[in-house]
Amino acid sequence: MTTAPFQLADFGITKEWGYMQTTDPVVSLGSANAEWDALARDLPKYLMGSGFRARVKAMPPFNVSALRGDGETRRAMLALSYVGQAYQWCETEAARVLPAVLAKPWYEVGKLVGRPPILSYSSYSIDNWRRLDPSGSVECGNIALLQCFLGGQDEEWFILIHIDIEKKAGRALQAIADAQNAVGEKDADRLEAALDELSAGIKQMYDVLARMPERCDPYVYFHRVRPYIFGWKNNPALPNGVVYEGVDELGGKGMSYRGETGAQSAIVPALDAVLGVEHERDELRDYLMEMRQYMPPMHVRFIESVEAGPSVRAFVKTVNRAKVTERFNRSVELLADFRAMHLQYASTYIFAQAQKTPGNPSAVGTGGTPFIPYLRKHRDETRNQTIS
């Protein structure tokens, strides 16, 4: 009997929680960093005031050694990332240098979580929620953000939708493992059941994504939410990147990091991997590979394990059973539908909006790529890779 290629637990993943941590996020830092915690928590108020950059420069040193456990480390990365992005984009002119009091701990905590010192998807969504009813479920209607930039319905809803998708993705991730295990055992019946679960999981994610327009208006998103999540790579406002003052390892050079984007979620890459969906080499494909640098390392290892695992697509072709092929194609079509809806939102929420500042261009995504032609191409490539 062939050994199963992997289990979700090997990567800190569960069917119930997906890529999310299995306990609710830590809501505050310890007393040693209480002033930084307060600065992040009241960020919407400070951004409505003046002198935010001066306020950050006057902050006491951040005590990285005082962080206790994974929860506080994630909370620290969230707080420093929000403060850092706010420092960068709170004024008309972008900051070309981040002060040492912010840059040094941001870099150090980034090393602890395995990500660059910039706001990335995991801090923006996966680690950024609390339950309204502690005994209730983790989904839209019972979750609220721990951290905002300006606050308000549109910003909250935009991120909450992503959190809900991440939570529901656990079903699909379990199905990925089950599908590859079934192929390893050459068990078509088990594969058929796994593909049923996979399509059901993707459908749940799709249904949540479809709710985005309920409380997030395209104009408000573009002009009030999006500007703060841009990075410093391929950004016309920062042609030479950003210097992280006091970080000796970076040598005083301007660093060009990508901005926060849903492309830093490990869900779709894992789905592509298990379904054998391949994309022709283009700028977006290279960019998506680069996005793995901004994911938690364990998430990247999961994607790579799926990519290296037994081919579900090849087995489906070999077994040549109508029901198995039908269920495989259903998953591919649903993934294409998910991409199609994302493309629709990209057009409505970004491309159709009027650009007013150089730091918030409408022709490229927050990660810095010209997204429309590539998103359309990847949607079409996915839909064309069903098995006949």
Report the domain count for the chain.
1
In a domain, 1, yes or no: no
Q: The domain containing residue 184 runs over which residues?
A: 8-383
In a domain, 198, yes or no: yes
Q: What SS3 state is found at 130?
A: strand
Q: Is the pLDDT assigned to residue 355 strictly greater than 50?
A: yes
In a domain, 317, yes or no: yes
Return the structure tokens found at 314: 């090849």
CB 381 within 8 A of CB 280: yes
Query: What confidence score (pLDDT) does residue 359 get?
Result: 65
Q: Is the pLDDT assigned to residue 1 strictly greater than 90?
A: no
Which domain CATH number covers 161? 1.20.58.480
Question: Residue range 202-230: average pLDDT?
Answer: 96
In a domain, 2, yes or no: no
Per residue in 22-51, pLDDT (tens digit) is 999 999 999 999 999 999 999 999 999 999
For 177-228, give the DSSP string: HHHHHHHHTT-HHHHHHHHHHHHHHHHHHHHHHTTGGGT--HHHIIIIIGGG
Query: What confidence score (pLDDT) does residue 328 get?
Result: 98
Q: From CA 388, how far away is CA 376, in angstroms rounded?
A: 22
Per residue in 139-187, pLDDT (tens digit) is 999 999 999 999 999 999 999 999 999 999 999 999 999 999 999 999 9
Mean pLDDT of the chain: 94
Per residue in 63-102, pLDDT (tens digit) is 999 999 999 999 999 999 999 999 999 999 999 999 999 9
Binned at pLDDT 50, 70 and 90, residue 357 comes out as: low
Binned at pLDDT 50, 70 and 90, residue 2 comes out as: very low
Question: Residue range 248-273: average pLDDT?
Answer: 96
In a domain, 178, yes or no: yes
In a domain, 105, yes or no: yes
- Written as one letter, the residue type at 285 is R
Query: What confidence score (pLDDT) does residue 329 get?
Result: 98
In a domain, 3, yes or no: no
Per residue in 117-131, pLDDT (tens digit) is 999 999 999 999 999
Q: Is the pLDDT assigned to residue 133 strictly greater than 90?
A: yes
Question: Residue range 356-369: average pLDDT?
Answer: 65
Helix 267-275, helix 312-319: angle, nearest 10: 30
Percent of the chain with pLDDT over 90: 86
Which comes out higher in pLDDT, residue 24 or 343? 24
In a domain, 388, yes or no: no
